[in-house]
């Protein structure tokens, strides 16, 4: 049996691991073997030799991502156990239903599998690696996935890591079906609404699964309103607004491809819908030129303005500018759904940016809801960094 290599931490550097935080920073390491390869499994020991955890070694400031705090083998049955726990949770909270087969099955650290994302769309699992370790363990993971999920739930597995791994360790994984693929249904159901999911070419795994609950809330507020869905991508918020009885929905995205998917999604749910219009335009330009007094419900769901810590200040300015533009255009008695999905920006920082925008606009603004990511994107309580989606629903007068 293969023996795992070991790394030893410096004195007092074991505390966060004892509190089950799953990352070992490179500065905490006192000793590591010279011949370590990126992605291999490594046992982490305290300075006195006590076992702390086992995980994937990687080059960079996070040196180990812990998979288990028990001294166990990382094999198919390990992944089976983790995936079974995650699937059971989704079933227990009633996310796996005949009218809802779109959900995140594995959310990295939130499901005790750092570096791994698996999204389910109808009968297809889209698997995404965010670490070399997960990439190397891919066969173990997909074998485990096939064992855990019933045949009627899982028929195809698509691996999509080309955009998440290329700069790491010279690995250029090919995006491809690992099993099935020929008859994969590209239409999945979210809360009984149909969505065409393009996992081959779409962003992330093809869809933003994390806005499901927030779209549902928007549906509730949409009745008889003129809705503007900015940064619409696949048109998720637009389709819910239409079902909620919106008078008119305008969807805006700078990508022509996104607008095509949005139109397709409107069409497959509401044939020949006359209450929907698409605009392929820059969001800032659209708000400035076309939005004055026209809308009474606005959604702002931009891409992450800050992808790393160095970009925080610029990103906060970006959120302020965008929200100010919406405050200047929205009518009295209207509602604004505003989001940030930047992991490095805290909910306090985001709220402060929106507060600054409100103050400059001089509008009277009340917070109706504070939103976050849904239950299939759980936050591991020992890993608060896993909380990334923030949203505010505002009543503006």
Please say which residue, 231 or 327, places its beta carbon nearer to ligand SAH: 231
Q: How far is the CB of 259 from ligand SAH (least distance, A)?
A: 9
- The residue ranges that bind ligand SAH (CB under 6 A) are 208, 211, 231-234, 236-237, 253-255, 258, 282-283, 301-303
**CB atoms < 10 A from the CB of 56, how many?**
25
Residue 306, φ and ψ in degrees, nearest 5: -125, 120
Please say which residue, 126 or 134, places its beta carbon nearer to ligand SAH: 126
Please say which residue, 190 or 296, places its beta carbon nearer to ligand SAH: 190
Q: How far is the CB of 283 from ligand SAH (least distance, A)?
A: 3
Please say which residue, 14 or 301, places its beta carbon nearer to ligand SAH: 301
Please say which residue, 21 or 204, places its beta carbon nearer to ligand SAH: 204
Which residues, 6 or more positions from 99, have their beta carbon under 8 angstroms from its beta carbon? 189, 191, 192
Q: What does DSSP assign to residue 79?
A: H
Can you say how many angstroms the Cα of residue 139 is from the centroid of all Cα atoms in its chain?
23
CA pair distance 101, 27, nearest whole angstrom: 43
Q: How far is the CB of 339 from ligand SAH (least distance, A)?
A: 8
Q: What does DSSP assign to residue 175?
A: P
Q: How far is the CB of 365 from ligand SAH (least distance, A)?
A: 22
- Exposure string over 264-275, b if 16+ CB within 10 A, otherwise e: bbbeebeeeeeb
Query: Could you tell me if 66 and 109 are in contact, meaning their C-beta atoms sit under 8 angstroms apart?
Result: no
Q: How far is the CB of 217 from ligand SAH (least distance, A)?
A: 13
343-346-350-352 Cα dihedral, nearest 10 degrees: -160
Q: Collapsing DSSP states into helix, strand and coil, what is residue 335?
A: strand
Q: How far is the CB of 191 from ligand SAH (least distance, A)?
A: 13
Please say which residue, 187 or 254, places its beta carbon nearer to ligand SAH: 254
Q: What does DSSP assign to residue 2?
A: P
């Amino acid at each position: 049996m293969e023996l795992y290599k070991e790394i030893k931490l410096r004195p007092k550097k074991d505390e966060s691991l004892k509190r089950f935080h799953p990352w070992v920073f490179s500065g905490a390491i006192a000793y590591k073997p010279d011949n370590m390869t990126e992605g291999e499994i490594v046992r982490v020991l305290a300075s006195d030799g006590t076992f702390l955890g086992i995980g994937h070694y990687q080059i960079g400031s996070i040196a180990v991502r812990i998979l288990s705090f028990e001294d166990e083998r990382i094999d198919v049955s390990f992944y089976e156990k983790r995936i079974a726990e995650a699937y059971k949770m989704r079933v227990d909270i009633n996310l796996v239903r005949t009218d809802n087969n779109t959900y995140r099955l594995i959310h990295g650290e939130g499901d005790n599998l750092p570096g791994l994302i698996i999204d389910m769309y109808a009968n297809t699992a889209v698997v995404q690696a965010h670490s070399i370790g997960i990439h190397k363990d891919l066969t173990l993971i997909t074998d485990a996935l096939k064992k855990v999920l019933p045949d009627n739930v899982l028929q195809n597995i698509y691996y999509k890591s080309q955009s998440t791994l290329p700069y790491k360790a010279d690995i250029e994984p090919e995006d491809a079906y690992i099993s099935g693929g020929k008859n994969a249904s590209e239409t999945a159901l979210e809360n009984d609404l149909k969505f065409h999911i393009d996992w081959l070419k779409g962003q992330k795994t093809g869809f933003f699964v994390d806005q499901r609950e927030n779209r549902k809330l928007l549906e509730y507020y949409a009745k008889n309103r003129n809705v503007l869905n900015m940064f619409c991508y696949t048109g998720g918020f637009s389709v819910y607004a239409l079902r909620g009885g919106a008078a008119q929905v305008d969807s805006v995205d700078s990508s022509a491809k996104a607008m095509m998917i949005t139109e397709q999604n409107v069409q497959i749910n509401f044939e020949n819908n006359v209450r929907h219009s698409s605009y392929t335009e820059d969001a800032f330009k659209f708000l400035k030129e076309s939005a004055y007094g026209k809308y009474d419900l606005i959604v702002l769901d931009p891409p992450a303005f800050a992808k790393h810590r160095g970009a925080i200040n610029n990103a906060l300015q970006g959120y302020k500018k965008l929200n100010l533009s919406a405050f200047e255009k929205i009518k009295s008695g209207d509602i604004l759904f505003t989001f940030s999905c930047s992991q490095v920006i805290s909910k306090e920082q985001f709220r402060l940016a929106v507060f600054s925008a409100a103050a400059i606009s001089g509008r009277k603004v009340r917070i109706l809801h504070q939103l976050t990511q849904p239950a299939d994107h759980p936050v591991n309580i020992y890993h608060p960094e896993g909380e990334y989606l923030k949203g505010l629903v505002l009543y503006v007068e």
